[in-house]
Amino acid sequence: MSSINLQGIGMTSQRTRDRLIERLRSQGISDSKVLDIIRATPRHIFLDEALSHRAYEDSALPIGFQQTLSQPYIVARMTELLLALGPRERVLEVGTGSGYQTAILAQLVDRVFSVERIRPLQEKARQRLRHLKLHNVHLRHADGGMGWPQRGPFDAILSAAAPEVVPQELLDQLAVGGRLVIPVGKQGQQQSLYVYDRHEDGFDEQCIEPVMFVPMVGGVVA
């Protein structure tokens, strides 16, 4: 990882990143902190070199193991929703994947606890996060749908995979006043992004917009 060019050249240059930010603004992303972090974070290092020239397109890209690096708009939208009610200290991420969403969160909240079921993806993400000197991230190799109960409750939870039904385990690990941002629905059918806010007497649910995510799958891959 030591030879990685964090600044990028050509299609990964700062000018290309700036164009992406303008596109995100035009799509309704308005949180300046989120936009600044996305502009500053080198998305190209979270992809294999053969795809790095496409890093600042507003599209999802493959990272292996039938997983994807989420579209920048979705990363920005979910992060903005997560932070909409104020600062968050302890955030659980379900699905580390490439580590890109993890890196964005780590620069905006106090501590990130991220669970990934596919160990080779987790190890690559660990190297990238270390390269970026993001030391407030705790990684766990486990079934993401179960969350990380030993480290809960969490102020916020973000899921990068879509269950058909929201796991009760995730709702249980959300602190009172906390927010869960999660895509829900069957793969290949209509999925929607949902927000759940926990109160003393239960949860408020909001359906935000249509999305397309990889499914939340049980078990682990060594």
Identify the CATH number of the domain in which residue 43 sits: 3.40.50.150
133: in domain:
yes
Confidence bin at 2 (pLDDT 50/70/90): very low
- Give catalytic residue positions: 70
127: in domain:
yes
- How many domains, the chain? 1
Query: Average model confidence (pLDDT) for the chain?
Result: 93
DSSP the chain: -TT--SS--GGGSHHHHHHHHHHHHHTT---HHHHHHHHHS-GGGGS-GGGGGGTTSSS-EEEETTEEEPPHHHHHHHHHHHHTTS--SEEEEE--TTSHHHHHHHTTSSEEEEEESBHHHHHHHHHHHHHTT--SEEEEES-GGG--GGG--EEEEEESSB-SS--HHHHHTEEEEEEEEEEES-TTS-EEEEEEEEETTEEEEEEEEEE--PBP--S-B-
Mean pLDDT to the nearest integer, 184-210: 95
92: in domain:
yes
pLDDT, tens digit, for every residue of 199-212?
999 999 999 999 99
The model carries a pTM of 0.93
Domain limits at 68?
10-211
pLDDT, tens digit, for every residue of 58-117?
999 999 998 999 999 999 999 999 999 999 999 999 999 999 999 999 999 999 999 999
pLDDT, tens digit, for every residue of 102-139?
999 999 999 999 999 999 999 999 999 999 999 999 99
66: in domain:
yes
Mean pLDDT to the nearest integer, 14-42: 95
% of the chain at pLDDT higher than 90: 86
87: in domain:
yes
18: in domain:
yes
201: in domain:
yes
Check residue 25 and give its pLDDT: 97
81: in domain:
yes
